Structure 1
């Protein structure tokens, strides 16, 4: 992903259904490093594994902070089937990370929390605009195209105009 802004008004060059997966952690006790540090380290390992495997279904992601205690990623997937396959694969990073988190959660008495949300967005039910921005969000995952190609207004891009 380039940090160089793309000049003008762009929109994501995505077609069809979009799977948006949000996943994160909340540090409930900064002093309990043994509880949250392994959780913190697990996500980069999974993202590295997924990014190396072009057939994994991960189209792109953004790492974000939700204040001093919350770290999360917004992920874009090709399909819910590929997301679910990764989550349940015995030979991938997710299963051992999930098992380790559950062990630590029982022992750590709530020192760290995790959460996730999955959104299956049908074709025609999303729109976006990026103005003088580097590729970001769905635009980074799917590429960008000039806004005029999909419609000048949000309502047009959603097919509501």
Structure 2
């Protein structure tokens, strides 16, 4: 099965405007122990009233980042897969808070603002080659790191953006690299990984999900019987290699 199979049915879920999430406060719960743990340390040096205001700064930044992001809330109530034409690149980038000073010294807030500016720039300028972005917080279970999953049209587009001095990436990259050389105990860790994917050499499935990940970078399609299992979607087998106990349920999908 190639990436340009004309027999697949494209599914286009309607988009809704950006809106604040009702459960947003719950997403901040993992941050509260970290924020509260700073109070005894900072309280030694600052007035008590100011001590209790400081944790609101990173919290306000997180709230701002969450609420300004656009989201697709329409659920597609069945199994679908993703279709994208040609080769593409998956780029993972993130940051990790290594010390308490990352919060109190402002480096964590500055890094978050830099990441937010880059993501906003890429979303507002699709001609740069970034197809879609998904962002996650607290991926390590301790709310101290972030993850941005990005889908790019090509490695050349990604490289061109990273080196363009007129864009939002180069300046912060140079600053963080310089700081890592000067500081023997760096407050912020930054990482990235890049994967080049050839056409047809990928697979995905979404069950009762909104447009997400690769399906947002490309488009949602009905897998049908030709792409019922992972090995079929990877082009490894032609007939469905369904686990025997699941066959009655798979036939109904």
TM bin, normalised by shorter chain, reads over 0.9
In 2, the alpha carbon distance for the partners of 1:106 and 1:37 equals 20
Match of 1:46 in 2: 118
Match of 2:174 in 1: 99
Question: Number of residues paired by the alignment?
Answer: 161
In 2, the alpha carbon distance for the partners of 1:19 and 1:149 equals 28
Normalised by the length of structure 1, the TM-score is 0.93
2:116 alignment partner, SS class: helix
Paired residue for 2:224, among 137, 148, 159?
148
- Are the structure 2 counterparts of residues 64 and 7 from structure 1 closer, same or farther at C-alpha, using a change threshold of 3 Å? same
2:108 alignment partner, SS class: helix
Gap regions ≥5 residues in structure 1: none
Q: Which is greater in Rg?
A: 2
Higher relative contact order (CA 8 A, sep 6+): 1
Give the CA deviation at 1:150.
5.6
Match of 1:84 in 2: 159
2:192 alignment partner, SS class: strand
1:32 alignment partner, SS class: helix
Give the CA deviation at 1:35.
2.6
Gap regions ≥5 residues in structure 2: 1-70, 238-253
In 2, the alpha carbon distance for the partners of 1:153 and 1:27 equals 39
Question: Which is strand-richer, 1 or 2?
Answer: 1
1:39-78 correspondence runs (5 A): 39-65=111-137, 66-67=139-140, 68-78=143-153
Of 44-53 and 147-156, deviating more is 147-156
Instruction: Kindly report the root-mean-square deviation, in angstroms, between the aligned alpha carbons of the 2 structures.
Output: 1.5
